[in-house]
Amino acid sequence: MSETLYYLLIIVGVLVVMLSIAALLIWYERRMLALWQDRYGPNRVGPFGLMQVMADMVKIFFKEDWIAPFADKWVFIFAPTIIVVAVLLGFAVVPFAPGIVVADMNIGLLFFLAMSSLGAYSILLGGISSNNKYSLLGSLRGAAQVISYEVFMGISLMGVVILSDSFSLVKIVEAQKNMWFVIPQFIGFVIFFMAGVAETHRAPFDLPEAESELVAGFHSEYSGMKFGMFFVGEYLGITLISAMIATFFFGGWLGPSFLPPIVWFFIKTFAFITLFILLRASLPRPRYDQLMSLGWKILLPLSLLNLLATAAIKLAIGG
C-alpha cells in the first residue's frame, strides 16, 4: 500500500516539478537571453520578474481559442498534446536520485529514444492539419530532421550502453561512479548533444519554426493554449535532453556528498539547459541542406566510428 502511495507521490512529484520547471524556463530563458544581449529581460512582475510566468500563463489561458476555418479541426487540436505527453512519458525513466525514479526499466534508454521520436508526430500532424504552406514546409522539415538525427542519437548512446553493460538508466548512472562517461565517450557526448538540440528543434537547429522564413513554421496557425502546449512541450524537451545528458555522460545524481544527490542532478541538468540557451543566444541558423549534410555526412559516420572504437576497446580490455 505504502509502496503504491510512494510511487504515486513520485509520479505526481515528477509531473509537478517538471511542468513547473518548463514554465519557469520561459522566464529563465528570457532573462538569460537578455543577460547575454546586455538587457534586463522581464523584471517588472514580482521579484526579479518571476511572476512574469504567471502573467504569461494567465494571458495564454485567456487568449481566444481560435481554429483556422481551413484547418483539419480534430488533428489540429490533437497534435500539440502528443509532444507534451511523449516528453512527459520520457521523464518516467529518468533517475533523479537513488530511489527517485518512476520506472527503472531495463530498457529505459530505448524507451527514452522511443518517446523522443514520438514528438515528431506532433510536428508532422500540427503542420499538415494547419493546411497552410508554411506550416507544411515546417512540419516536413521537422519530420526529416527528427528522423535523421534520431539515427545517430541512438548510435551515439550505444557507447554508453557498451561501457555500462545495461539499458537501464539507474545502472548507467551507477556505472559512472569512478569516471563520468563524458571522458571515454566524449565524441558520443558531442554527437548526442547536437542530436538533442536537433530533436528539440532548438536554435540553431530550429528550422521547422524558422520565423524569418516560415513565419513560425508548423505552428503558424496555432494560438492560445494550443500554441502554449507546443511551447511547454519544447521546454519539457530541453529539460529532458539536459537530464539525459547529465544521466548518460555526467554521472546523473553522483557528486560529492556535501549536497544531496537530487541537487547534483538538478545542478547538472540546469547547466545544460543554460547551455541550450547560450546556443540560442549566439549561433545563427544553418541552411537546411547544411543541417542535413552535417547529420548524414559527418555525425552519422562519426557516431558509427565511435561505436566501433568503443566496442573494439571494450573487447580488447574486457574480453
Partner 1 sequence: MFSILRSLWLTFLHTFHKRFTIQYPEEKAKLPARWRGRIVLTRDPDGAERCVACYLCAAACPVDCISLQAAEDETGRRYPEFFRINFSRCIFCGFCEDACPTYAIQLTPDFELVEYDRQNLVYEKENLLISGPGKYHDYNFYRVAGYAVGGKGKGEAQHEDPPIDIHDLKP
Residues found near partner 1 in the complex (CB under 8 A): 35-40, 278-279, 281-283
Q: Between 32 and 232, whose beta carbon lies closer to partner 1?
A: 32
Q: Cβ(246)–Cβ(96) under 8 Å?
A: no
Q: How far is the CB of 162 from partner 1 (least distance, A)?
A: 26
54 within 8 A of 62, measured Cβ to Cβ: no
In the bound complex, what is the minimum distance in angstroms from residue 135's beta carbon to partner 1? 30
Q: Which is nearer to partner 1, 35 or 312 (CB)?
A: 35
Positive or negative torsion for Cα 169, 187, 196, 25: positive
Q: How far is the CB of 187 from partner 1 (least distance, A)?
A: 13
Contact 96, 269 (CB under 8 A): no
Contact 92, 122 (CB under 8 A): no
Pick 204 or 224: Cβ nearer partner 1: 204
Nearer to partner 1, 267 or 298 (CB): 298
**Which residues lie closer than 8 Å to 249 by C-beta, 6 or more apart?**
160, 180, 181, 182, 185, 188, 189, 192
CA–CA separation, 298 vs 184, rounded Å?
Answer: 20
User: Please, what is the minimum distance in Å from the beta carbon of residue 255 to partner 1?
Assistant: 23
Q: Shortest approach of partner 1 to residue 39 CB, angstroms?
A: 5
Q: How far is the CB of 41 from partner 1 (least distance, A)?
A: 9
Cβ proximity to partner 1, 68 vs 190, nearer residue: 190
Helix, strand, coil proportions of the chain in percent (round to 5)?
70, 0, 25
And the C-alpha cell for 148? 535523421
d(CA 225, CA 201): 20
CA distance 120 to 142: 7
For the bound state, the minimum distance from the C-beta of residue 113 to partner 1, rounded and expressed in Å, comes to 26
Q: Which three cell numbers stand for residue 27?
A: 522566464
Nine cell digits for residue 116: 523522443
Nearer of residues 163 and 194 to partner 1, judged by Cβ: 194
The partner residues of 97 in beta bridges, in order of sequence, read 100
Residue with cell 488533428: 75
> Nearer Cβ to partner 1, position 117 or 274?
274
